[in-house]
Amino acid sequence: MRMPAGQFTTGPNHVVWASVNTVTDPWMRTVPASTHRSERHNHAKELHPMKAARFYDRNDIRIEDIPAPEAAAGEVLVKVAWCGICGTDLHEYLDGPIFCPQHGHPHPISGEDSPVTLGHEFSGVVEALGEGVDDLEVGDHVVVEPYIIRDDVYTGPDSKDYHLSKDMNFIGLAGRGGGLSEKVAVKRRWVHKIPNNIPLDEAALIEPLSVGYHAVERAGEFEEGAFALVTGAGPIGLLTSAVLKAKGAKVIISELSPLRRQKALDSGVADYAFSPAEVDVLAEIHKLTDGRGADIAFECTSVQPALDLILDALKPTGKVVIVSIWGKPASLDVQKVVLKELDIRGTIAYVNSHPETIKLVESGKIDLKPFITGKIAVEDLIDKGFDTLINHNETAVKILVTTDPERLAE
């Protein structure tokens, strides 16, 4: 999940506080009592309200108390530790609803409409297991692959296309709870256990890192030392670069913002970072590659000049993966594609990418710490989180949010 780079103007925000138990939520799932494992042990718990950041409409996100979910059969109740704010969340706030179902128009799979709880980049701890879930334990650290996908779609370990299935959407956008709350009940299929050597704050970045992982996978095999050009060093450009470095590529970043170029170099994910406003990036790439050109390229800006640069910078038979989301058609110098036999490929989200992505972090090949640039309480979501990312987006990469005051004190 990611959004085009660029400036956003902020609209009026309406953060409304609802007092405990004043929200009646007709969109909460009801689950037969017999499947409520925790209910059998603790009736009081079911009534426990929890904090959640909910999307109502454009410029209308409210921090409210809503009933906490429970683990139904086949589900895992996750107590959220940290949840990242994604560009997609900002998009919903400024221009939405896009992924979020409009009020009165329920999503065809989740059956829910707005208000919906936000947050799809999260880590947490297993708090309860629903009936039939016996391969996880309470206390396990987990991340969630936040898909909402039809039950009849094959999602086995060799599927390469479940993420492209009809009406696919995301937990934390189209219903089924979200990471910007205390707890989420998630189908076992979408819960991935992580080892305890990955801190839970860093683990919240595994979801966007999986986007980078799948993007790199889409480029196919490449040799150790291959030159990879990445245009744009926003969160997804940086995390895609992190995967490229971990897989042995030499990474060249083209990015206008000096702060972002510095972050790319300081975090070690880029070998070279050039400003297209200050240097002839094409000439620099030709210098670095003895005139050959880059082997692969990843477009992470959704701006035309970046796409133009890539077509010129790639070597003959080079491959470009378009990672950014384009709000309008781009122009393409097709003759360059023809004469260099270039491959142009798209990529969206991830598919069976989480296990390998987790291994890259677990092994230490990718260090996610440098990309955490802020930690805030959910109460500050709009004022400190969204505002920073909308108005000062060069200074921030990932801002993590928690509902748990103890996590902030860590």
Residues 6+ apart with CB under 8 A from 405: 377
Q: Tell me the HSE value of 152 on the side-chain side, using a 13 A CA sphere.
A: 3
Binding part of the chain for Zn ion, among 78-86, 238-246, 323-331, 335-343 by CB under 5 A, reads 78-86
**360 near Zn ion, rule: CB under 5 A:** no
**401 near Zn ion, rule: CB under 5 A:** no
> Looking at 34-178, which runs of residues are DSSP E strands?
49-57, 60-67, 75-84, 116-117, 121-129, 141-144, 147-148, 169-170
Per residue in 153-165, is it b (16+ CB within 10 Å) or e — as a string? bebeeeeeebbeb
Of the candidates 86, 118, 194, 389, which one interacts with Zn ion according to CB under 5 A?
A: 86
**238 near Zn ion, rule: CB under 5 A:** no
Cα dihedral 385, 387, 393, 395 sign? negative
Binding part of the chain for Zn ion, among 86-94, 195-203, 259-267, 301-309 by CB under 5 A, reads 86-94
Nearer to Zn ion, 205 or 270 (CB): 205
Contact 238, 264 (CB under 8 A): yes
Binding part of the chain for Zn ion, among 52-60, 83-91, 157-165, 182-190 by CB under 5 A, reads 83-91
Binding part of the chain for Zn ion, among 81-89, 230-238, 294-302, 359-367 by CB under 5 A, reads 81-89
CA–chain centroid gap for 377, Å, is 19
Binding part of the chain for Zn ion, among 25-33, 87-95, 156-164, 387-395 by CB under 5 A, reads 87-95
Q: How far apart are CA 184 and CA 187, in angstroms?
A: 10
Longest dimension (CA), the chain: 70
Binding part of the chain for Zn ion, among 46-54, 82-90, 293-301, 331-339 by CB under 5 A, reads 82-90
Q: How far apart are CA 302 and CA 323, in angstroms?
A: 8
Work out how close the CB of 56 gets to Zn ion at its nearest, in angstroms, rounded to a whole number. Answer: 20
Closest residue to Zn ion, Cβ-based? Answer: 1
One symbol per residue from 1 to 40: x for binding Zn ion (CB under 5 A), - otherwise; what is it? x---------------------------------------
Residues 6+ apart with CB under 8 A from 304: 330, 331
One symbol per residue from 37 to 76: x for binding Zn ion (CB under 5 A), - otherwise; what is it? ----------------------------------------
Residues 6+ apart with CB under 8 A from 339: none
Determine the size of the site formed for Zn ion (CB under 5 A).
3
Kindly write down the DSSP assignment for every residue of 283-305, as one continuous string.
HHHHHHTTTS-EEEEEE-S--HH
Q: Phi/psi at 384 (nearest 5 deg)?
A: -105, -35
Work out how close the CB of 88 gets to Zn ion at its nearest, in angstroms, rounded to a whole number. Answer: 5
Q: How far apart are CA 230 and CA 306, in angstroms?
A: 9
Work out how close the CB of 98 gets to Zn ion at its nearest, in angstroms, rounded to a whole number. Answer: 12
Please list every residue from 184 through 213 that binds Zn ion, using CB under 5 A.
none
Work out how close the CB of 323 gets to Zn ion at its nearest, in angstroms, rounded to a whole number. Answer: 12
Of the candidates 54, 63, 77, 88, which one interacts with Zn ion according to CB under 5 A?
A: 88
Work out how close the CB of 1 gets to Zn ion at its nearest, in angstroms, rounded to a whole number. Answer: 2
Interface positions with Zn ion (CB under 5 A): 1, 86, 88
